[in-house]
């Protein structure tokens, strides 16, 4: 480490040199770090290479899943959904009991760990939509059933909302090939001041045929103005959750 002298002193980076100030005055040092080639070849960095391989695998699956479910979450997800998916899928990858470190993959992991993951971490679906949701799985159809209820008694309704809709979205991905499928079914736009009819929503499994499948249930609020329905400005009260998963 060298000491800066002279009238002009620097702070920050210039090329491979880092200029900074500490209790001893203005200093300069060459930026360190291990070269990429050494990391990829040196036996001492084997664990690092294993981590890099698994993070890379995980990132690809996160992107595939997020791109697949985007139509369902575009007005719901919070700003940290991507980071939360990275963490959750990495946890699933690490439950792979078949492959060695560096080769573990999500295909062999515990896909059930996705159940209960909120799409909007600031507003949980069970806090917003409180009537009992009955999961329906006939083998050919996958969805939910909700008995009639009074919205004002069983929902947290944002100021300005006049209507809402409930939806289910089925998504499937093939991690090996990158194939993906998506289906969505929504209720009518329901007024918040009238008891709802029974809500029965389902997607056809034949239309989401890839090996890893998830079922999302969500609610979106809107405002009716002169017969037109408008999404609420920030969507902060919209919520959705992964309610079920399947893996072939």
The per-residue pLDDT for range 101-114, each reduced to its tens digit, is 999 999 999 999 99
Residue spans of the chain under pLDDT 70: 1-20, 23-24, 26-34, 234
The pLDDT of residue 77 is 82
Q: How far is Cα 158 from Cα 174, in angstroms, rounded to an integer?
A: 38
The three-point CA angle 247-63-81 to 5° equals 95
The pLDDT of residue 46 is 83
Buried b / exposed e along 177-193 (16+ C-beta atoms within 10 A): eeebbbbbbebeebebe
Q: How far is Cα 135 from Cα 244, in angstroms, rounded to an integer?
A: 8
The pLDDT of residue 4 is 47
The pLDDT of residue 38 is 81
The residue count of the chain comes to: 248
Q: How far is Cα 84 from Cα 96, in angstroms, rounded to an integer?
A: 19
The pLDDT of residue 186 is 97
The pLDDT of residue 232 is 82
Collect contacts of 152-155 with beta carbons under 8 A, ≥24 apart: 152/192, 152/193, 154/129, 154/130, 155/128, 155/129, 155/130, 155/192, 155/219
The pLDDT of residue 201 is 98
DSSP character string of 185-232: EE---EETTSPPPPEEEEEEGGGS-SSEEEEEEEEEEEEEETTEEEE-
């Amino acid at each position: 480490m060298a000491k800066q002298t002279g009238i002009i002193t620097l702070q920050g980076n210039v090329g491979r040199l880092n200029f900074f100030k500490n209790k001893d005055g203005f200093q300069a040092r060459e930026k360190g770090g291990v070269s990429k080639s050494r990391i990829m070849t040196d036996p001492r960095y084997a664990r690092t290479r294993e981590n890099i391989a698994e993070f890379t695998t995980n990132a690809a699956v996160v992107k595939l899943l997020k791109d697949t479910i985007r139509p369902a979450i575009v007005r719901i997800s919070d700003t940290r959904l991507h980071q939360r998916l990275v963490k959750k899928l990495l946890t699933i990858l690490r439950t792979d009991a078949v492959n060695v470190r560096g080769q573990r993959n999500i295909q062999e992991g515990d896909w059930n760990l996705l159940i209960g993951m909120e799409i909007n971490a600031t507003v949980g679906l069970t806090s917003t939509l409180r009537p009992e949701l009955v999961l329906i799985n006939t083998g050919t159809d996958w969805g939910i059933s909700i008995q009639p209820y009074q919205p004002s008694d069983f929902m947290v309704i944002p100021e300005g909302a006049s209507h809402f809709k409930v939806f289910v979205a089925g998504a499937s991905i093939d991690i090996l090939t990158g194939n993906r499928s998506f289906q969505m079914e929504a209720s009518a736009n329901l007024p918040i001041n009238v008891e709802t009819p029974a809500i029965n929503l389902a997607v056809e499994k034949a239309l989401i045929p890839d090996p890893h499948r998830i079922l999302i249930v969500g609610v979106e609020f809107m405002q009716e103005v002169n017969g037109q329905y408008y999404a609420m400005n920030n969507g902060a009260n919209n919520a959705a959750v992964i309610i079920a998963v399947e893996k072939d």
